[in-house]
Amino acid sequence: MKDTVSGRMISEHLVEGEPSPGREIGLRVDQTLTQDATGTMVYLEFESLGLPRVKADLAVSYVDHNIIQEDARNSDDHRFLQSCAARFGVVLSPPGNGVSHHVHRQRFGAPGKTLLGSDSHTTTGGCLGMLAIGAGGVEVALAMAGRPYRLSTPRIWGVRLEGRFQPFVSGKDLILELLRRHSCKAGIGKILEFFGPGVAALDMSDRAAVSNMAVDMGFTAGVFPSDAVTREYLARNGREGDWRELEAGPGAAWDQVTELDLAAIEPMVACPHNPDNVKRAAELAGVEVRQVLIGSSANGSYRDFMVAAKMLEGKTRHPGVDLAINPGSRQTLQNVMAMGGLKLLVEAGARICEAGCLGCIGMGQAPGTGVNSLRTFPRNFKGRSGTKDDAVYLCSPETAAASALAGRIVDPRSRGAAPRVEHPARYSFNDAWLIRPPEDGAGVAIVRGPNVKPLPVLEPLAESLAGPVLLKVGDDVSTDAILPAGAKVLPLRSNIPAISEFVFSGVDEGFARRAREAGGGFVVGGENYGQGSSREHAALCPRWLGVKAKLAKSFARIHRANLVNFGVVPLVFADPADYDALAQGTALEIPGIRAAVDRGDAEVAVLAGGRRIAARLDLTPRERAILLAGGVLNHARA
């Protein structure tokens, strides 16, 4: 990683370990962010550590997911978060202010800084030349307490860009092309870093869309250099003083390199039900769409909305299309309005929603039965939209706008001349939208609604584990499948006993009941188990139901870390063919698991009836200590 942008940031923040592939290192964390769907747990976890104030240079709490207030629960959680922010020295971004990824890069992100967030798409910060990483909430709580963030040293995958995009092609098409070529798990254990002459042709909205979805290829982070484009962006936000040049040096050595000509990229669309099921928009011509959503997490930038507004100018959405605009932030909405874009969108028949995640997390905007939804969002896992049998396609704002007019997916290059977007010399912003904490929060009382329940008490790892296979699932199972989101479930994020009733509810409605009746057990998975969201509830809630270990062909990075952090043993088949030998209901036993973890054994025997299955214990010494303690909070308090 010598002389790469990512390598330099790792070196500057290294506080533990020696950075070589596969070895665990600890990094100093400059900034943290939380969002409300994960943040309530983060602040319960931070509070349990007994510290009066956060120790990171900056901590920001965003309310951007659970913003539909159909009863008191979300509002109560918001009051809890606001009181925690004041008590512990955290900046609060309240409901309507926008999605964390957009607000943070507009107001706080800075080149060369490390950012750890309890949202997997925290990787968006890489557009500024940050090392921005999504993690489980408990790891963010520990970073707020001044602890280093520990991870296995990632390899760095360099992508050399040359040329420039064709008209109507943008950053979303770039990341979808990479997903098409390399799959959703190609980046596990790696950082994605861009370099080369083509980087200068990408504006900040392009870079944000790419960095945002780097995690959807499995990458730990997606990093761009900090260059003249970065400096101009920070200057437009009144923060040129935060700029720092940060580019790869002449001796930069990436672990692998891919070359890509931006001019060769076409408008791309991810088809149901995974972000790597990608085809050219031209191949999908004629696919009818009834819903088009522009904005939210991946494409909620000023340029994203202005290019759509210009394409829709003087026209009206197709009568069969429900077109909605989800601004990435209040700042973006204000500036789009000031530059006339909002008027064009309204005149075109678009519904203007408040700034927030909304349909991206299934918080409203569920599509109708049997219809196709086209979205500029980062994920399209089955049922994530809130409609069980949905058909969600992902695309760029250009493709979305063109398709909203046609009522079907179209290649936007067929729509005439590409619009030209002008930016204000300086983006308008009101700092009073953010709520700063008092100098001393000792006298602030934390407000707890009836839905805010105490953290569960987790027992240390048992001497042996035994129980049935409660569920067997296939490859690329997402955390949405393990613990759904949506308007029905999200308000329970601060209530582990209640939300645990929904574990695997979209896959097997009887899972929670069966787990309780059996006194717990095991879950068996295929490749890339636990991809997607960083939600630690997908580890904690199965643990609450008695899941003692998960046995898979491979794990997604964040979910694997969350399992360890909540005392669930992540086991990997030594021989993937043994996956076929297990079925739901198979009785498993792992004798002497505690001693094996304590000794540092690399493998453990799983007894399945008369069959003996070897499973790998790929754990660092620190992870072994956490499992023995029953979880990272037990370990930290000890």
Sign of the Cα pseudo-torsion (100, 102, 108, 109, in order): positive
Work out whether strand 58-62 and strand 31-35 pair parallel, antiparallel, or are unpaired.
parallel
Beta pairing partners, 572: 552, 616
- Which residues have CB under 8 Å from 419's CB, separation 6+? 306, 307, 310, 311, 313
- Spatial contact of 545 and 512, defined as CB atoms under 8 Å apart: yes
Instruction: Give the per-residue pLDDT at 70.
Output: 85
Across residues 338-342, what is the average pLDDT? 96
Mean pLDDT over all residues of the chain? 95
pLDDT at 578: 97
Tokens standing for residue 600: 């540092």
Say whether pLDDT at 262 is over 90. yes
Preceding amide of 13 cis, omega within 30: no
Q: Is the pLDDT of residue 1 over 80?
A: no
Strand runs labelled E in 304-412: 322-326, 351-352, 372-375, 391-394
Q: Six-digit token pair at 462?
A: 């048992």
pTM of the entire predicted model: 0.94
Confidence (pLDDT) at 415: 85
pLDDT per residue over 290-299, tens digit each? 999 999 889 9
- Mean pLDDT for 627-632 is 96
Mean local confidence (pLDDT), 228-253: 96
Q: Higher model confidence: residue 360 or residue 552? A: 552
| Domain spanning 465-637: CATH 3.20.20.140 | no
**Cα(274)–Cα(217) distance, integer angstroms:** 11
5-264 topology per CATH = Aconitase; domain 3 (3.30.499)
The pLDDT of residue 361:
85
At residue 486, does pLDDT exceed 90? no
The arithmetic mean of pLDDT across residues 252-276, rounded, is: 96
pLDDT bracket for residue 381 (50, 70, 90): confident
Say whether 80 sits in a helix, a strand or coil.
helix
The CATH code of domain 268-414 reads 3.30.499.10
Contact 483, 541 (CB under 8 A): yes
Does residue 259 have a pLDDT over 80? yes
pLDDT tens across 59-108, in order? Answer: 999 999 988 888 899 999 999 999 999 999 999 999 999 999 999 999 99
CATH 3.30.499.10 residue ranges for the chain:
5-264, 268-414
pLDDT greater than 90 at residue 256: yes
Q: Where in the chain is the domain with CATH 3.20.19.10?
A: 465-637
Predicted local confidence at residue 43, as pLDDT: 97
Other Cβ atoms less than 10 A from the Cβ of 463: the count is 10
Residue 21 pLDDT: 84
CA distance 545 to 542: 5
